[in-house]
Each structure stands twice: as C-alpha cells, then as structure tokens.
Structure 1
C-alpha cells in the first residue's frame, strides 16, 4: 500500500518483534538484520545490497553498496557481527565493516574464488563455499572481529549439492554433515549421514557415519549435541549421539541411540475472524512437505505460519534404552539430566535390577567418574587462584557445575534415603557398592552415608556385620560416626568401646572427645573415657555436673557428684569443692535432693 511494504520481524518471543515499513524498490532476494537488530541489509539485485540503520539516535536512512568485483553476481550475504558483513558472489567473497554513522562500508578483506553455493554457521562464524566445476571441493573461511582467515579446503563425495549438506556444532566441534542417499550400485541398505570434522586449524577429515537404514526424504537438526534426522515418509525421527561410538576402523559408525520416535503432537489454537470461540484446537501436520528446517534446532511450517524449537524429552528414554550403562552414558551428556538420572537410579534399585549388582556398580562408577572430574577441576582452579596471579592461573576458568555432576547429597536425598526395600541385604549391598565406587575414585565419603549403613544394620540387628565393618575399616573413622556409635550403646554395648577406639585413632584432643560425649548426654561414657586416658584428676567437675543436671536423671547426678567428692578426697584429703571450681549451685542441689547427710564427710586423722 502507498508504494511500500509493512515488514514484521518475529523471534521466538514477542520481546524480539520488530515492525517497520519499507519502500517498494523491487523483489527482495534476501533480507537480514545484523546481530541485535541494529542494521538491516536487503538484497534486491545481483549487484548491490541496501542498508538501513535501526540504531537509536541514528538517522533512519537507507544507503547502498555495490560489490567491488566487476561482472560478479551477489549470491547472498552473511552478518558476522553487528557491524560486519560478508558478500558472497559467484567469483569470491568480500568482507566489509559497516560504518552506520558515515552510511558507508569499508572493505576489510576479499578473496577471489569460484563459488557455486554457500552456507554459514552463526554459532562459529564459519562460512563454507562450494567451489570447482563439479562442486565437491569445499572451502571454509572463519571470521572474528575484523579478521577473516582461510581454513583448509577438502573434498566430499559427489553429488555435492547444498540441500544435502548442513554445517552444525556437536560437542563444541564443527561438522559438515553430508546426507548421502542410497546408491543402487552399492550394497548399502539405506541412506547415511557422513560427518566431516572441520577444525579451526589442520585438515578436515571424515570422522563419523550415521546409518539411517532406510531411504526417502530427510532433514537434519542438532539438539543438545544430538543429531536428529527427520524421515518424512515414516513421520519419525532418528537420534544419534556421536560420543556413543562403535569403532569400524578409523571411522565411527553409529546406529540410532533409541528406536525411531515421532515428534510430540502439537495442537494449534485457531485465531482470527473465522475461528469460532468454542472451536477445538487443530492438530498440527507433522513432517509436512511445507516444513523448512534451520540449524541448529529450528523448524518452520510455512503453510501454518509457525516457528518451533525442537527439544529432546529425556524422561521417556528410561523405558526406551534397556542397557542401563548405555542409558547413563547418554543421559550424562544431556543438558537437563540430573533429575532423570536420579530417577533412573531409583527405578533401578526398586524394580528389575535388584539382583544385578554389577549393573548398579557400573552406573555408580559412571556417575562418580563425572563427579571426580568436577572435583579435580574445582581443586585445580582453587590451587591456581591461591597461588596468586600468574601466566598459568589466568588460563584457569572456574569449572562449570553441569547437571551431570551427581554428588553424594543428591544421591543420598533422592535415591538412597528413599530406598525402602524390604530386603535389608540389598540395601546394605547397594550402599556398600556406592561407597566402594566413591573410594575407587578417591572421593572422601560423607559421614551421612556411613550413618545410613549403621542405622540399617542396627535396625535389623546385624551387629556382627557392624562390628566387622568397623574392625576392618570398611566404614572410615570420623567424629560424627563415633558420636552415632556412642548413641547406640544402650542397644549394642560394645558400640561404646568401638566409638572410643575410633576417636583415639582420629587423634582427636581428649577434651574435644569429652565435649562430644557430653553433648550427646553420654556423661558416664565421658567419665569412663577420661579415666581410660588417665586425665580424670584434671578435668572440670563443674562441666560434668552441669551435663549430669541437664539429663534430669538424679541417680546419674548422684554418681557423678560422688565420683568428684572421692577425687577431691584422694587429691586433697577433703571431699568439698574449692571455691574456684564454681560448684556451689550443684552442692546446694545435691543437699536439696539427697539431704546434707548424704555429703561425704572429711576423713578423721
């Protein structure tokens, strides 16, 4: 209308929407905003590109730039930064800096090369050009602020056409993914996707082959480092993880990780004047021929006017992948994996794998390997930071704790403490298996895991096993563990001595051991301990009398009071307490409860 067009730019959410009017100057071949929607570039001819500033406080005026190579045709362009752009022509590439204030472009670098077609990966800022007459030689270029570098060129198999290739990242590595259709001349049972690894430096090599085991129309996405291959006729998608490998010579040949799955159905709520208020949502047509797939994880339905992000739901994999070791390898590499991994562990311990401790051991080892790697990285970072600024410490980044790090508190809270299996032998076997795995990776075992073992043993009266575990140091010494053993004395009398032995082995200061015992109201135990180490002549009487009073056990108080009277008599020949010992209130209490006559009398000379 009125010689112009209204353009609406929509992103995944309404916040990134932009709307503007554009003069009608001919058919638009290509239209793209630079990063941050700062500058708009529009290609209408094969000779030039038009630019408009969208930067606040800059004049909203259009300016144009022609490609510098004579007789060249512009195939398209790619923004590599908010103000840097590369023109791709049939005769090479031209890398420019856009100067919005001067409304002009400055040539940074150019390269003459025969170009059939191109593709660009925004994640890595790598441009891939198809060259030579046959089109099977690919020349990549890498872009970084104001610089363009030529990478090693490489050959791929024929026919090399743009719709059979995509440029994607998986596990932070860039790959050219080539869809190789079924060939009648070979015995191959179906199409395959060949992955060429494209390093920043060095040569590009064919590294992975994904076996599709079928023929037809395919499209590729990469989601959460997984290569997802959509198959139109079967309306299903195949999922591949290139880190799960089956070596076939120098190549890694991959089968799908899971059975073929269909994308989750989606219903569209009709809007507009034609839609009745009560009209039910309409199912979206999946795997439609009008779908356009963009890297890494975008699907656009042109007929329905929808843009989707593809996501992987991890929970259903629990029942799709029976091999628990393989399932764990798969889940540990996913972004939002923690709760799914913990539910796998819970399911494994409460359902079918009860009798198979080797499966449990495998899973624990896989989890603890990742846990240990994180702990080591965290420690190395701490050491580097403590050593002060140096050339080496500046290269250290604080390790990111991913969801794959399942620590002991996660395992205790979500799996082991909820593990209410009737057969105590299984509980103990699983707990000991987890402790074995932690020890194998030299991860210090938290005391609450040992406490869980002890409580389970006591609950089922397995005192002989508890004694053996402690005797052979299966349960490592710790102060909290010693305290727990002390509290078991009434149930299992030898626990008292086991606890004291443990405290002595820990070389804990005697007064600290006494404090621990008194805090647990083990007043007689504390007194026995102090006598066993020959320190009973020097301890504070008041500390013990305070603790005895707090128990509300008058006979216990009587015993403790009488002990210190006897000590006073032995040391000073007088049962009374010195003024400096501050025991007056306890003497008064003793008289109140037991009467003055109960006090010891001083021995007559």
Structure 2
C-alpha cells in the first residue's frame, strides 16, 4: 500500500519512529490501550496479552494472563496491577484477581440502564468507577473477599463519556446535541465536581442540529494544565477550553482544514492531525498564543531513534517496512502520543523534530524560548540552543537581539537552579501576579487573560522565558558604569544593522500576531464566561512531574563560555569590538540573573580589549570590579603587561589582594624585587617558592650581605634546607665572595 506515504526528503516537524511495536498476533480480539498503566492489551479467546509501553516502542514478547471466555468490550488493569477489569457487555463488567484467579461481576438491569465504560482511580474513597447512562457508581474493590462494595452513586444522565488517566478528568455528555457536559476529577486529592457547561456548535444551513460525537472531543494535558479541544464540523473550527475548579473557559479557536481530525500531545506541544489532508499542525499554548508554531506539514516515518538527522525514507522502503498507509482508516490516536494501527497490529510513537522546527525560523529569541520549554531529547535541546546563539553572534546580528537571546538562556538556568534547590525566591506565575479580578471581553465568551489563583501542584512559570522585565536587577553601579563607558567605544550603528533575515522574522511575528488575533472566536450573543476571584486551575495527575527536567535542559554560564564564546573567538578576532559588546551584554544578563561569570570569560574579554589597545578600559573594569578578580585574570594581566607595564601592575596587585602568596612572590621575583619578595615570604610563611630563585638573584646582584641574608632566611624557614645541594653550593659561593 503506497498511498499516504511521504515523498523522500519531505520537510516535516513531526514523525513516527520505525520500527513500531508489532502486535499482529493471530486470533486476537482487537487492541485496547490501558492509559493508566501504559499497557497495550490484545485479548484472545482465553488469555490477555499485554505489552508495557516505555519511552520507546520496541518489540518484545508480551506478558499474558488467563481469562474466562466471552466477549470483550474493554480491558483495564488496576493501578496496583493486582486485578483486571473486563467489560463483557453493555450490562456487565467482570473483575478478576490476578493472584487467585477468582472473579466477581458488576451488572446493571438490561431494561433500564447501560454501562458505557469503567476505569480504576487513585481516589481515596473508591477504587473503580463505572459509568452508566443514569450516572456513576463509585466502588471499592476488596480482593480478600473478592467482592465489590458500592460507596456512592451519582445520578446524572450521560450519552457518552470521555476520560484520561493523565488528567484524572471525566466528562459526561448529555442533551439533544450532546453538548451539555458534567465533569468530575477523581484524583488522589479527592473528588472535584466541575460546574456544568455547554460546548459551542455552529448551526448548519438547513438549521439542523448536529450531534457532537465522542470522537470530536479530546482531553489533553500540557504544562500541567488541562485542556479540552472540541471539533465543530459545521463551523470547521476547533474550540479550546480550559478547566478551573469553578468554571470551564473557552480560551480560543483553532482552524481546521479537514472534516476529520485527531489530537495528540507531545512534549507539551498540541498536535492537531488533519486526517483528510494528511498533515499535522503544532501549537504551543504556553503563552496562551493560539497561532501555530509551524505551517501544516506531513507526518513522516523515521528509521532510527539515535539518528535524528536521518532523512525520510523513500516511499517504497517505508511501504515495505510499514505495510500500511499514514493516517489510514485503522489508525486510532491514543492520548497523549501514541497511534494504534489496529488493521496492521502496530503501535507508533509520535516525536517532535526539534532540529527541523529550529531551522524553520530566523527568530532566534523565539525559538530559544521554545527549546527551553522542551523536556524530550535533552541533549538535542542543548546542542540546538548553543548552535543558535553561536550563529547569532557569527552573523553579527543586532546587539539587542543577541542580548535577548542571552537573557533567555540565563533566565532559564537561574530559574532551574532555584527549582532544583527549592529556593524560597522562586518567582510566582503570571496567574499569581495578575490582578485579583478582571473584566471579560465585551460580547465575547473568550477570556484571553490568565485568571488569578494558585496552581495546584508545583509552580509553573507562565511568564516569558526571558522574563527580563520582571526580574529584579541585581547589577551594581560599577557594572552599569563600565558598560556605559564601553558603549562609547563601540559603533552601535554598525552593530545594530538588521539583516534581511531580521526583516523576515519581524514580518513573521507580525503575521503570527495577526493570525492569532483572528483565530480568537467572537461568539457574540453568548453569555460571557469568566473565572471567579478565587478560582484555581484544575491540576492534572501529572502536574507534579513538570519542572523535573529543567535543570538538564538549562545551559550554565560555563557551558556558554566553552561552547559559544571560545568557539567564536577566533572567527571574531577581526572585529573584537562586536564580540566585546556581546560579552558585556552577557555579563549584564548574568548580573540580572544573580549568576557569576566563569573566570575564563574575563580572561577572554581582557585579551580582546588588549588587542584593540584599550588598556585604559581594562584598568577601569578592574578597578570597578566589572572584571571579577581571579588567579586566571591576574595571570592574564601580567602576561599582557609585557606590552603595557601598568596592566602588569594590575595583575600583580590582584594576586596580592586575592592572597595568592606563591604567585605574588614569583611575580615580585620576575620584576627583580627579590628582597621585597623575601620579606613577603617571611611574613606569610610562603614555603612553596624555590630558594634557588632568591639565591640566584642575590648572586646576580653580587651582594654578599644579601646572599648571606637569603641563606639565613631559608635555613630558618625550612630547617631541612641545610641538607640540600643548593645550601652547600651557595654557602661555598658566599665564602668565596667574602
């Protein structure tokens, strides 16, 4: 089957990884996905086969459990994996103890009720919840007695339901058009009942009332937030809702180009698959922007996970390896990032091509912010981020743009260190910083502002990653004065010349903003929805996981120096003024973020200033502590002192101030001040300097008293000195001089 496979070399920002998990076993009764345990389940007549889905979908032999024969509508393992629930019909769910093999059933009256489904929960009051057309049954499973105990029944009508374990959110659809929803969240923190709400549906030309299907509603969890995406087939739009404890807010509308869509969530990016068009559109809702981050592009099949640069395979090779069609009829999209091809018995895992996304824009700050929020493929995130900063410098982009890129990198690192260290100074989210109340947009259901309230779970910073304006400046007046002084020597007009790519980036941003504003649904005539003053965003079951990888993604100042400045230094020696200005912006960003610069950076900057014969600025920066004192910097100043004596003195004085006694004594000896060096060594008991250096200097001066004083000093300071050959030799020289 050749249809639907991408052509060789086609550009794409998303792909599925080959080989997939193969589960094409004869005589299976379908494929089911247990999202709570991440099991792919394939029942046969008398057994259940299942695979544990890990980070990679590698094939392997399945595990198996014996079961009784009979029809199977769905299969779910308990959260402790000690029991299996099997829905046998629309009126019966069977529960089986995996250790004893004993079973029990929960049935409902066939003439009055229908079981829509069930799921296991970590709610403290119950273990399993059965969804019926008349409401919910909350049950406790007792494996010792092999029985089910009813805890509570919640009465509400339901035509169909939607549930994901990731969000712990259950939505029950009712009404003539199935647009009225009742919601519950069953989590370890208890039960939260959401207010009833209605989803928006456009009217058809014939004034028919379309019915909302379960396949047109999708629950996704990104950045610890729970969203619901609802396809309006008549209006050809995808409505986006966000859940709070006391409200459900429609936050925007995304365009669709196909009558059939599917939704996935990969690394906090929402993927909207336009199935008829066989393309996928990516959205990043971190900043509440509903403009796509890329153009609609096809989904590709990649060969090896370890080779992210591998191009798409030719269609014939893909066909022979896959044996199916991309976006085929048998594809079932599983939240968050899996695709089950039931016809061919395959399970695919979706991935983002970060390298392709980064290459698709020239807006360096924007793509850096995007990369710093990613958690998958951490080494690739670092590699791309460092390469983008290097390229920005080598292309001599405007200093303001380079400075913004530096702010993004260092702000991300600073925040990650605070999160890892549990510092009390972690900044609050924009939700906490905004006003306690706000007015909804007139005649609009959309609330684009982030509502106030406290997140349940860890704080997720929804400010821009750069966050320069919101950071408290920690720079001292010396730094600012030094930078201002340096600015007078840099031709800003030449440094801020925009390239053609800058114009493209600016145009792209303008188009993106215009597109974003046009995507927000007006929905006039509806009562505005807004969030209460004390409203709290509904926390997902995985919200505690967010932020755990930030420290691995963040780039430290040392990495910036080693992987950016050191690598660009040779190529920038022809224009040291530009690189000096870049380093000054980097120092400014470090100061704002409360971070220390690596000593090697000061050494590099001093060398660049010396190449431009700007020794006066070196003295200014050293005196104002803009160049932080260190042994490395002091030795560099001494080395530069061969061409400028005052610079050498700065280095020698820095050694003394840093109490680097050995190096200071050695520097005094190099300058011929051996008596001063001797007094300093006596005062601070510097025993690491070789006595021969002092003795040779005394002999060179042809001074008998000085040579005698040096011999006496070292004999007193180090008693073992009298047993050395140096003592005997110079004692003999002294006797001859007398």
- Range class of TM-score, shorter chain: 0.7 to 0.9
Are the structure 2 counterparts of residues 6 and 113 from structure 1 closer, same or farther at C-alpha, using a change threshold of 3 Å? same
- How do 1:531-542 residues align onto structure 2 when only pairs under 5 Å count? 531=676, 536=680, 539=683
* 2:179 alignment counterpart: 136
Question: Aligned-pair distance for 1:320?
Answer: 0.7
* 1:271 alignment counterpart: none
Partner Cα distance (1:577, 1:124) in 2: 78
Instruction: Map Cα deviations across residues 372-430 of structure 1 (whole Å, 9 max, x no partner).
Output: 2234445653899xxxxxxxxxx999984513321112212222222231434233332
* 1:255 alignment counterpart: 291
* 2:133 alignment counterpart: 90
* 2:716 alignment counterpart: 580
* 1:368 alignment counterpart: 410
Question: Aligned-pair distance for 1:285?
Answer: 1.7
* 2:690 alignment counterpart: 547
- How do 1:18-417 residues align onto structure 2 when only pairs under 5 Å count? 18-25=63-70, 27-54=71-98, 58-67=99-108, 71-81=112-122, 84-145=127-188, 147-158=190-201, 159-183=211-235, 191-199=236-244, 201-212=245-256, 214-246=257-289, 254-265=290-301, 281-282=321-322, 284-335=324-375, 336-337=377-378, 339-350=380-391, 353-378=395-420, 381=423, 400=548, 402=550, 403-417=552-566
SS in 2 for 1:498: helix
Question: Aligned-pair distance for 1:455?
Answer: 3.7
Partner Cα distance (1:529, 1:373) in 2: 50
CA-atom RMSD in angstroms: 3.9
Residues 523 and 548, structure 1, Cα contact 8 Å, conserved in 2: no
Partner Cα distance (1:32, 1:238) in 2: 32
Partner Cα distance (1:29, 1:578) in 2: 93
Instruction: Map Cα deviations across residues 66-122 of structure 1 (whole Å, 9 max, x no partner).
Output: 248982211111122498211111100001111122111011221000111101110
Question: Aligned-pair distance for 1:473?
Answer: 4.1
Are the structure 2 counterparts of residues 433 and 36 from structure 1 closer, same or farther at C-alpha, using a change threshold of 3 Å? same
Are the structure 2 counterparts of residues 491 and 564 from structure 1 closer, same or farther at C-alpha, using a change threshold of 3 Å? farther
- How do 1:417-456 residues align onto structure 2 when only pairs under 5 Å count? 417-419=566-568, 420-422=570-572, 423-425=574-576, 426-456=578-608
SS in 2 for 1:311: strand
Are the structure 2 counterparts of residues 582 and 171 from structure 1 closer, same or farther at C-alpha, using a change threshold of 3 Å? closer
- How do 1:452-467 residues align onto structure 2 when only pairs under 5 Å count? 452-458=604-610, 463=615, 465-467=617-619
Pick 1 or 2: higher relative contact order, CA cutoff 8 A, min separation 6.
Answer: 2
SS in 1 for 2:571: coil
Partner Cα distance (1:408, 1:74) in 2: 58
SS in 2 for 1:444: coil
* 2:669 alignment counterpart: 524
Are the structure 2 counterparts of residues 306 and 577 from structure 1 closer, same or farther at C-alpha, using a change threshold of 3 Å? closer
Partner Cα distance (2:189, 2:396) in 1: 60
SS in 2 for 1:486: helix
Q: 1:589 aligns with which of 701, 718, 726?
A: 726
SS in 2 for 1:421: helix
Partner Cα distance (2:109, 2:265) in 1: 37
**Mean Cα displacement is larger for which, 226-235 or 488-497?**
488-497
Are the structure 2 counterparts of residues 160 and 37 from structure 1 closer, same or farther at C-alpha, using a change threshold of 3 Å? same
Partner Cα distance (2:702, 2:133) in 1: 102
SS in 1 for 2:690: helix
SS in 2 for 1:412: helix
Question: Aligned-pair distance for 1:363?
Answer: 0.7
Gaps of 5+ in 1: 184-190, 247-253, 269-278, 385-394, 570-574
Gaps of 5+ in 2: 1-26, 28-43, 202-210, 305-318, 427-457, 460-543
SS in 2 for 1:127: strand
Question: Aligned-pair distance for 1:308?
Answer: 1.2
Are the structure 2 counterparts of residues 24 and 449 from structure 1 closer, same or farther at C-alpha, using a change threshold of 3 Å? same
* 1:387 alignment counterpart: none
Matched, 1:558 2:699: yes
Partner Cα distance (1:63, 1:80) in 2: 18
Q: Determine which structure has more spread, i.e. the larger CA radius of gyration.
A: 1
Residues 514 and 526, structure 1, Cα contact 8 Å, conserved in 2: no
Give the structure-1-normalised TM-score.
Answer: 0.78
Instruction: Map Cα deviations across residues 30-75 of structure 1 (whole Å, 9 max, x no partner).
Output: 2222235421222223322112111xxx321232222489822111
**Mean Cα displacement is larger for which, 403-412 or 120-129?**
403-412
Residues 691 and 714, structure 2, Cα contact 8 Å, conserved in 1: no
Partner Cα distance (1:359, 1:170) in 2: 29
* 2:434 alignment counterpart: none
Question: Aligned-pair distance for 1:516?
Answer: 3.5
Question: Aligned-pair distance for 1:175?
Answer: 1.2
Q: 2:629 aligns with which of 457, 477, 483?
A: 477
Partner Cα distance (1:495, 1:330) in 2: 44
Instruction: Map Cα deviations across residues 202-253 of structure 1 (whole Å, 9 max, x no partner).
Output: 21111233334x343211101111110111232211000002444xxxxxxx
SS in 1 for 2:351: coil
Residues 95 and 108, structure 1, Cα contact 8 Å, conserved in 2: yes
Partner Cα distance (1:283, 1:203) in 2: 46
**Mean Cα displacement is larger for which, 362-371 or 329-338?**
329-338
